Structure 1
Amino acid sequence: MTNEILHQKFNHTLDNNVLNDIANVGTYKSFLKDDIIIDINQPMLHIPLLLSGYIKILREDNEGNELLIYFLEAGETCTMSLTCCMGTSKSKIRAVAEHDSNLIMIPVQKMQEWFHGNESWRTFILESYQNRFDEMLDAIDSIAFLKMDERLYKYLVNKSILNESATILIKHQEIAEDLHTSRVVISRLLKQLENEKKIKLGRNKIEVITS
């Protein structure tokens, strides 16, 4: 069944040769919501391909505060971990399961081998770099140019899209950690967004109202 999911999620980007190789050398892993999949300073010996679920990629400052960089969806890989693998260095990010998630972990040696020997893999990696780069630019733009209430609303809209539901089950503290601010600020801005009829607040849940 897992091999079927692998082919289903990646057959539009990867050819059968590399998919069969991935199935043979990859290690399948399952993670529950909030599990740490890759941690900061962890040696990067494998790269993840996400088969199901969602993963959030975070950076951490010197005081241990986290900042959300981007989300990974099924059929994607984390290019920040790719960069660490290519340089045989330690992870500079933390990858956390946003939902229960299933992955296949590929040895770094194979990633490099396929990059030079398989066109579909090389294209997949380069396109992944481009997509993640665009998302990181978007994250930087949000921090630099958007006010916190605009960042918050954009965050909630993106969450609802990922969840495929207008209702998000989340605590104010979790939002504050993702956006690198305080719970008090988030609670105040959520109330402001509710007054503007952009969201509806409930107990540990938020409904995003779209026009």
Structure 2
Amino acid sequence: MTNTLLQQKFNQILDDNLLNEIFQTGTFKEYKKDDIIIDIDQDLKFIPLLLSGNIKILREDNQGNEMLLYFLEAGDTCTMSLTCCLKTSKSNIRAVAESDSLLILIPVEKIQDWFRNNESWRNFILESYQIRFNEMLETIDTLAFMKMDERVFKYLIDKVKLNASETLVIKHQNIAEDLNTSRVVISRILKQLENEGKIKLNRNKIDVLQF
């Protein structure tokens, strides 16, 4: 099953020889929803390839407040963790399972060898860097130019696309934590969005009606 998932998610990206080596040298690991996969200040000995599920990548300020940077989907890797591995520095992000997830963890000593010697891996990593960089720019633009109600609605639309479902099982407090604001503010904005006919609120659930 694990090898099948690896092939399904990466066979269009990585060559067969590399996939076989990843299967032989990587460690498959399952995480439950809300499990911390990578924590801030953690020494990283691996980078993750996501086979199933979703992961959110967070930053934390000096007061312990978190800010959502971007989501990872199946077929992605976290290039920020790769940077820390290559620099042998501690993690500056937190990776949390957004849903039950299966990953294969690649040991750091393999990463540089493959980057030098395998074109498919090199292209995959460079493309991943570009995608994450674009997502970071989008996050900065959202913070700089969007009002909070626009940020909340964009967040909900992104979650709909990520989960392939118009019904989101989520608490107001979870949204507040991801967007680094208060639950009271989020509850007020969600009620406003409901009055505008964009969403429908239920207990711990939100139906997104427009996206």
TM-score range, shorter chain: over 0.9
For 2:209, the equivalent position in structure 1 comes to 209
Q: What is the TM-score of this pair, normalised by structure 2?
A: 0.99
- Structure 1 segments of 4 or more deviating over 4 A? none
1:46-92 per-residue CA deviation (whole Å, 9 max, x = no partner) reads: 00000000000000000000000000000000011011011011100
For 1:174, the equivalent position in structure 2 comes to 174
Question: How is 1:44-83 mapped onto 2 (pairs within 5 angstroms)?
Answer: 44-83=44-83
1:14-44 per-residue CA deviation (whole Å, 9 max, x = no partner) reads: 0001101100100000000000000000001
1:195 corresponds to 2:195 = yes
For 2:99, the equivalent position in structure 1 comes to 99
- Aligned-pair CA distance for 1:164: 0.7
- Aligned-pair CA distance for 1:210: 1.9
| CA-atom RMSD in angstroms | 0.6
For 1:15, the equivalent position in structure 2 comes to 15
Q: Which amino acid aligns with 1:42?
A: Q
For 1:29, the equivalent position in structure 2 comes to 29
1:138-183 per-residue CA deviation (whole Å, 9 max, x = no partner) reads: 0010001000000000000000111111010000000000000000
- Structure 2, unmatched stretches of 5+, are none
For 1:160, the equivalent position in structure 2 comes to 160
Distance (Å, rounded) in 2 between the aligned partners of 1:167 and 1:3 = 31
Number of matched pairs = 211
Distance (Å, rounded) in 2 between the aligned partners of 1:106 and 1:48 = 6
Identical pairs, percent: 70
- Structure 1, unmatched stretches of 5+, are none
Q: What is the TM-score of this pair, normalised by structure 1?
A: 0.99
Distance (Å, rounded) in 1 between the aligned partners of 2:141 and 2:29 = 34
Q: Which amino acid aligns with 2:57?
A: I
